[in-house]
Amino acid sequence: MQTLLKLQKGDQVEIIAPASRCNNEELHLLKELLESWDLKCIIDPNLLGDDLLFSNSDNNRSHLLKTALFRDQTKAIICVRGGYGSMRLIPELSKILPPKNQKIFIGMSDITALHLFLQQKWQWSVIHGSLSVLKFTKESIDQMKAILFGNINHVEFDGIPLNQAAKDKKVINAKITGGNLCVVQCSLGTIWQINSENKIIFLEEINERGYRIDRILNHLKQAGIFNQASAIIFGDFIGGKEPNGSSIIHLVLKRFALEINIPVVQVTGVGHDRVNFPLPLGMDANLYLDEKIKLTVLSRIIT
């Protein structure tokens, strides 16, 4: 059964940067936060290098990722930020077998590529979320800490139905997968293409206008990604305003929901907004459908 591990004081965790470059303040504050939780924090001195687009060259980022994955003492791996670049590491990652011991793996946004690979190829559970104190609220980070240290064993979200199928009173029990909408689209045709069969698909996005959201969703629909899915959950879709300052994203999501047969719901507090609660992926979830929606996602924590 897929699980999330439980951290204890004194455990070793490792910060990696498999995508875009972070600034020194962001890296320092993340290390400071983890050490305030009495964790031993590892940052490779060669984490940040010189590259046109990324935090380091593909070879160096791949090496640092694999080192963190196979370092026996490391219990959790925290991606310092997203941006772009994670998918470029998957060809090399696909050549190796998983380590004997699973790690906690935390990231979001562009890290969706690694999340999908780890869930589908290695059968790992992962956490969609971030520990950036510069970007996200203390409440969000406190909940991540509670999950990591085993103080809670599930997370709950309230939501709203976006189509009639989501209003039909019932409970869907399925594993939850997904992440950033654009990165999920990028998975199509790859070895890490999202496996949506009998899954609840979670999607969120930032700074994409309404027409682009519609185009991606319809691409996924025409590619058959939703055909065997149990439900779709939209998280926060922020930014992406029209030239006149308005936003049509909610209308786009609503129209898409009305054009599809499976339940489509929306929850807030998961995505790129200031409030960004952690969401375990690859874990069992209960989606309670009715006029009011509740999502409960388990984090089966073991020692």
Quick one: 144 and 216 in the same domain?
A: no
Task: Kindly report, residue by residue over 85-96, the tens digit of the pLDDT.
Answer: 999 999 999 999
Cβ-Cβ contacts under 8 Å for 172 (sequence gap 6 or more): 200, 230, 231, 263, 286, 287, 289
Pure H helices in 149-289: 181-186, 210-222, 249-258
Tell me the pLDDT tens digit for each residue of 224-243.
999 999 999 999 999 999 99
pLDDT per position as a tens digit, 35-86: 999 999 999 999 999 999 999 999 999 999 999 999 999 999 999 999 999 9
Question: Final residue of a domain: which of 148, 180, 203?
Answer: 148
Residues 125 and 166 grouped into a single domain: no
Domain count, the chain: 2
Averaged pLDDT for residues 185-196: 98
Domain range enclosing 54:
4-148
Mean pLDDT score of the chain, rounded to an integer? 96
Residues 159 and 228 in one domain: yes
| pLDDT band per the 50, 70, 90 thresholds, residue 169 | very high
pTM (two decimals): 0.96
Please give the share of the chain, as a percent, with pLDDT higher than 70: 98
User: 4 falls in which pLDDT band (50, 70, 90)?
Assistant: confident
Side chain identity at 222, as an amino acid letter?
Answer: Q
**Do residue 158 and residue 294 come from a single domain?**
yes
Residue 184 sits in the same domain as residue 98 = no
- Asked if residue 144 and residue 184 are part of one domain, the reply reads no
* For residues 190-213, average pLDDT: 98
Other residues' Cβ atoms within 10 Å of the Cβ of residue 205: 26
**Residue 143 and residue 183 in one domain:** no
Confidence class of residue 208 from pLDDT cuts 50, 70 and 90?
Answer: very high
What pLDDT was estimated at residue 303? 41
Q: Last residue of some domain: 132, 148, 164?
A: 148
Instruction: Please indicate, yes or no, whether residues 114 and 218 belong to a single structural domain of this protein.
Output: no
Same domain, 218 and 104: no
What does the pLDDT read at residue 300?
A: 60
pLDDT value, residue 2: 62
Minimal CA–CA distance to 115: which of 54, 52, 227, 201?
201
Does residue 285 have a pLDDT over 90?
A: yes
* Beta carbons of 283 and 175 less than 8 angstroms apart: yes
* C-alpha to C-alpha distances, 234 to 100, 122, 258, 266, 295, nearest whole angstrom: 34, 26, 14, 5, 12
The verdict on 296 and 158 lying in the same domain is yes
257: helix, strand or coil: helix
| pLDDT score recorded for residue 180 | 98
- Counting Cβ atoms within 10 Å, is residue 178 exposed (0-12), middle (13-18) or buried (19+)? buried
Residue owning tokens 């963190």: 68
Instruction: Give the domain CATH number at 71.
Output: 3.40.50.10740
Last residue of a domain, one of 148, 172, 203: 148
Distance from C-alpha of 37 to C-alpha of 134, rounded to nearest angstrom = 18
Average pLDDT over residues 256-274: 97
Residues 80 and 200 in one domain: no
pLDDT of residue 82: 97
Cα–Cα distance measured from residue 102 to residue 51, given in angstroms and rounded to the nearest whole number: 30
Is residue 254 scored above 60 in pLDDT? yes
Q: Are residues 72 and 160 in the same domain?
A: no
Residue range 102-126, pLDDT digits in tens: 999 999 999 999 999 999 999 999 9
Residue 3 has pLDDT above 90, yes or no: no
Q: Are strands 284-289 and 170-180 parallel, antiparallel or unpaired?
A: antiparallel
Q: What is the mean pLDDT of residues 206-227?
A: 98
Give the active site residues: 109, 204, 272
